[in-house]
Amino acid sequence: MIYLDYAASAPMSDEAMQVFHELNQEVYGNASSLHDAGGKAEHILKYCRRQLAGLIHGHEDGIYFTSGGTESNILALQSVLNGLPAARRHFVTTSVEHSSIRNLVFLLQSQGWGISVMQPDSSGRITPELLLSHVREDTGLVSIQHANSETGIIQDLQELSPILKKRNILLHTDAVQTFGKIPVHADELGFDVLTVSSHKVYGPKGVGAVYIRPGVEWKPLYPGTTHEKGFRPGTVNVPGIGAFVTAAAAMTGQMTELAQHFRKLKSHLFMEGQRLGIPLKPVVDEARAQVLPHIAGCYFLKAEGQYIMLECNRNGICISTGSACAAGQQEPSPSVKALGASDQEALRFIRISFGQHTTLQEIDTLLNTLHQTAISKL
């Protein structure tokens, strides 16, 4: 099998697997227990909190561990919104966020929150002018993803965050796709709240984290919760967290090297595809927008993406038609349509995403399958 869907999930690294195994065997106490076994688990948890904070150049007191990216988004946003004053009940987000945030918008509307949803420009960017046109005096929180999981478009938070800071508006960013792939620096990007996930960086599934800058007020979604300083209910998954932080540290340490590798793979995919006459068109003009190096979103111009994905799967190759959290839905992707695509064009979208062990030979095998598929559609 050739796996080219790393934006959806990645396998656990050997280092993460080893740590996970050792901690399951040796650190099985509940971190909230007062006996020595609990104290040992709490010690590991504090170490992991400090390590993860260091990777994002944040403060360890702001780290809260969760069960993954979706829960991180829901808990982070609702907890911070709960902590806002009554005069700040306006929430701004974008039309291209992860489904967990898009779905949360409907709940917030039913609870009486003012909601504004920004539509990116034709290059997929949230510009300062666009942001300024949506914030109001009663805006309390803005949520803008660091990069899109389908198109790979990176938002310039460093340019946007000062606009919000000047108006005392908090900024949340979903960095699930960027953490471990490009630098995520709390002070440089200017976010107040951050969400990340383990299985995107070769850690175990079922683990994630939220960072809330110390000093930001928040109130728990579930009152009376004792774990994670009241942020999340349930026994803390210490072995999973240890494996997550181990994997994240390894990925962060080789970001530059891997980015070069991914760019080489992406360049080969499109250049060789063009040479072979494969009807493959990048969904983003990288001269107009910054794009994650490991994500190659594209249109297959002669067939729907679902058909191409199934043909690849029949040949032992895993690609996707977008976010795994929206898999099975027949509607065109909002992230692709935001770039000006028609419904028909958006349904021709496929996403190819690379991992650290992806080779040029695997890309050539994919290209051969796409070439044969294109011939069959003539």
Catalytic residues: 325
Counting every residue, how long is the chain? 378
Tokens encoding 132: 């300024």
Opening angle at CA 139, ends 133 and 145, nearest 5: 75
Tokens encoding 155: 């938002």
Determine contact, residues 293/356, Cβ cutoff 8 Å: no
Q: Which residues contact 180 (CB under 8 A, 6 or more apart)?
A: 200, 201, 248, 251, 252, 255
Opening angle at CA 335, ends 84 and 306, nearest 5: 135
Q: Cα 256 vs. chain centroid, distance in angstroms?
A: 19
Q: For the purposes of burial, counting CB atoms within 10 Å of the CB of 131, is it exposed (0-12), middle (13-18) or buried (19 or more)?
A: buried
Task: Give the closest residue to 115 by CA, choosing from 139, 84, 80.
Answer: 139
Could you tell me the sign of the dihedral formed by the alpha carbons of 201, 202, 208, 209, in that order?
A: negative
Say if strands 139-143 and 90-94 run parallel, antiparallel, or are unpaired.
Answer: parallel
Task: Give the closest residue to 168 by CA, choosing from 72, 95, 84.
Answer: 84
Q: How far apart are CA 58 and CA 88, in angstroms?
A: 26
Q: How far apart are CA 290 and CA 302, in angstroms?
A: 27
Opening angle at CA 82, ends 80 and 83, nearest 5: 65
DSSP one-letter string for 150-184: TT-BBP-HHHHHHHHHHTT-EEEEE-TTTBTTB--
Determine contact, residues 269/363, Cβ cutoff 8 Å: yes
Q: How far apart are CA 112 and CA 126, in angstroms?
A: 26
